[in-house]
Amino acid sequence: MAEYSDREHFIPVRMSDLVELLSKDSRLSSQEREEFRQFCRLVAAVWHFEYHEKLQQLKDAYAPLDPDSETKPLQPLDAEQRAQRIQEVFEKFDQLMKSANFKRLGKEDIYEAMKQLPSDWGIATEADLDLFEELRAYARGDVVGERTRRVWWKFFRLETLKLPLHSRLVLIAKLRKHKRFSEIDTNAVYLKVFKDIPKSDIEMLLPGTRVRLSQLDRAMIVYPLVTGVGLILFKIVSQVLERGPAALVAGVGALASWTVALALAGYGYRSYSSYQVKKQTYNLRLTRSLYFLTLASNTAGIMRLLDEAEEQECRETVLAYFYLWKYAPPEGWTAEQLDDYVEMDLEAKLKLKVDFEIDDALEKLERLGIVVQSDSKYRAVPIQTALEKIDYRWDNYFQYNQA
């Protein structure tokens, strides 16, 4: 069984496209092609039903913690119940992310990202991880992406740069009470799903981050005040040099005058105004960046991720059964042989380099009863038998009709 450090379990092909691809295989007769399509429909129906149950459980657990909820709970949670519910949500969400083939990032990964300079498309920010009671980050799709930019020192010519990205990044967080969150419900749990995030820009996605001004920005803000004070001092020194020590007393008196005080206040206001404008400009850039990078939030994010996990279950089931059914020899294949063949054929047909999650795929076939294990080898049951077994499972989810 091949193991790769540069591949992921996620199979980036829509279920309907995968079924269409496999159905065109030359080893299938016209009858087998139709039976296989029915098999895929039944597999999708079974996993959809079971994931609907998971969705309901996760929605029920998350409901009192959802900041977007419009419904009123019949019985509000007390402090102890809320703490238990928060723990339950994080545990269930962790299981969901594993099913959707996300990798959980450790705190060291977040700290490492915070140390890096932001990309040309990110915003320099300052984050404080002490603002979180719980913060978890999950990533999928460790890829190298392309971005375009124009810079003045190259006469604004368009250039393309490559940079490491997470094609999907998910954050789930419980915030502490803090003055930065005066208008935010810190009793809630916040969930965000993002796309195409440069690895060095994770910091800007965290709640409670502050925009960090560059040294040049700070210099431009302080410049009016420093210039104003410098001009006033220059005038006083010039008078001292021209008129002697007596002018120093006059100069000190001038500093205390209302005219000079108003001038200093004016220079100070210009610096403060420049700071506010610059800060608002960066905040607007941050808002625009997140607008185009955000895929879903809170309950909508849970539903999106569950749908992705469900599709991944279907892909793994269909691929494992198909290759055992049509490509394995009569005695069957070992898990390692099946794993290698699926990965090889996906790369040959779709140019996809994936690390097929063979143990999970075989476990699903065993749950459906459509694979037979003998010694260390696996054989797929005939397609008609597979259809009967899955249909029986579907028919018996509810057993109220005893006729």
Overall pTM surpassing 0.75 (yes/no): yes
> Per the domain annotation, does 286 fall within a domain?
no
Provide CB contacts within 8 A for 128, sequence distance 6+: 208
CA dist., res. 205 & res. 125, Å (int): 9
Q: Give the model's pLDDT for residue 108.
A: 82
Same domain, 319 and 351: yes
> Per the domain annotation, does 5 fall within a domain?
no
Point out the domain boundary residue: 280, 314, 330: 280
Same domain, 265 and 327: no
Same domain, 206 and 222: no
Q: 245's torsion region: left (phi>0), alpha (psi -120 to 50) or beta?
A: alpha
CA dist., res. 185 & res. 175, Å (int): 9
Q: How deeply is 270 buried, as exposed, middle or buried, from its count of CB atoms within 10 A (0-12, 13-18, 19+)?
A: middle
Same domain, 168 and 187: yes
> Per the domain annotation, does 288 fall within a domain?
no
* Residue bearing tokens 């539903």: 303
Point out the domain boundary residue: 300, 335, 358: 300
Q: Is the dihedral of CA 135, 138, 143, 149 positive or negative?
A: negative
What type of residue sits at position 273? S
Same domain, 83 and 181: yes
Q: Give the model's pLDDT for residue 247.
A: 54
What is the number of alpha carbons within 13 Å of residue 193 lying toward its C-beta?
A: 19
Same domain, 175 and 260: no
CB 361 within 8 A of CB 317: yes
Q: Rounded to a whole number, what is the distance in angstroms from the first to the last CA of the chain?
A: 48
CB 172 within 8 A of CB 65: no
> Per the domain annotation, does 134 fall within a domain?
yes
Q: Give the model's pLDDT for residue 375.
A: 87
Q: Give the model's pLDDT for residue 35.
A: 97
Q: Give the model's pLDDT for residue 23.
A: 95
> Per the domain annotation, does 262 fall within a domain?
yes
Same domain, 208 and 76: yes
Of 389, 381, 386, the closest CA to residue 332 belongs to 381
Q: 141's torsion region: left (phi>0), alpha (psi -120 to 50) or beta?
A: left
CA dist., res. 76 & res. 189, Å (int): 16
CA dist., res. 56 & res. 17, Å (int): 28
Q: For helices 15-23 and 298-326, what crossing angle results, to 10°?
A: 10
Q: Domain count for the chain, please give it.
A: 3
Q: Give the model's pLDDT for residue 161.
A: 76
Write out the residue range of the structural domain in which residue 342 sits: 15-52+306-395
> Per the domain annotation, does 192 fall within a domain?
yes
Q: Give the model's pLDDT for residue 201.
A: 77
Same domain, 264 and 195: no
What is the token pair recorded at 252?
């000190």
CB 193 within 8 A of CB 296: yes
Same domain, 45 and 70: no
CB 143 within 8 A of CB 169: no
> What are φ and ψ of residue 368, in 5° steps?
-80, -10
Task: Please report, in tens digits, the pLDDT of each residue of the chain (403 residues total).
Answer: 444 556 889 999 999 999 999 999 999 999 999 999 999 999 999 999 999 998 899 999 999 999 998 888 888 889 899 999 999 999 999 999 999 999 999 888 887 777 765 555 455 666 778 888 999 999 998 887 777 766 666 666 777 778 888 899 999 999 988 887 877 888 999 999 999 888 877 877 887 776 655 555 555 555 555 665 666 666 656 655 565 555 555 555 555 554 555 555 565 556 556 555 555 555 556 666 677 788 999 999 999 999 999 999 999 999 999 999 999 999 999 999 999 999 999 999 999 999 999 999 999 999 999 999 988 999 999 999 999 999 999 999 888 876 5
Same domain, 102 and 153: yes
Q: Give the model's pLDDT for residue 2.
A: 45
> Per the domain annotation, does 291 fall within a domain?
no
Same domain, 173 and 206: yes
Point out the domain boundary residue: 241, 265, 300: 300
> Per the domain annotation, does 133 fall within a domain?
yes
CB 189 within 8 A of CB 87: no
| 3-class SS letters over the chain | CCCCCCCCCCCCCCHHHHHHHHHCCCCCCHHHHHHHHHHHHHHHHHHHHHHHHHHHHHHHHHHHHCCCCCCCCCCCCCHHHHHHHHHHHHHHHHHHHHHCCCEEECHHHHHHHHHCCCCCCCCCEECCHHHEEEEEEEEEEEEEEEEEEECHHHCCCEEEEEEEEEEEEEEEEEECCCHHHCCCCCCCEEEEEEEEEEHHHHHHHCCCCEECCCHHHHHHHHHHHHHHHHHHHHHHHHHHHHHCCHHHHHHHHHHCCHHHHHHHHHHHHHHHHHHHHHHHHHHHHHHHHHHHHEEEEHHHHHHHHHHHHHHHHHHHHHHHHHHHHHCCCCCCEEHHHHHHHHHHHHHHHHCCCCCCCHHHHHHHHHHHCCEEEECCEEEECCHHHHHHHHHHHHHCCCCCCCC
CA dist., res. 241 & res. 233, Å (int): 12
Same domain, 195 and 265: no
Q: Give the model's pLDDT for residue 106.
A: 85
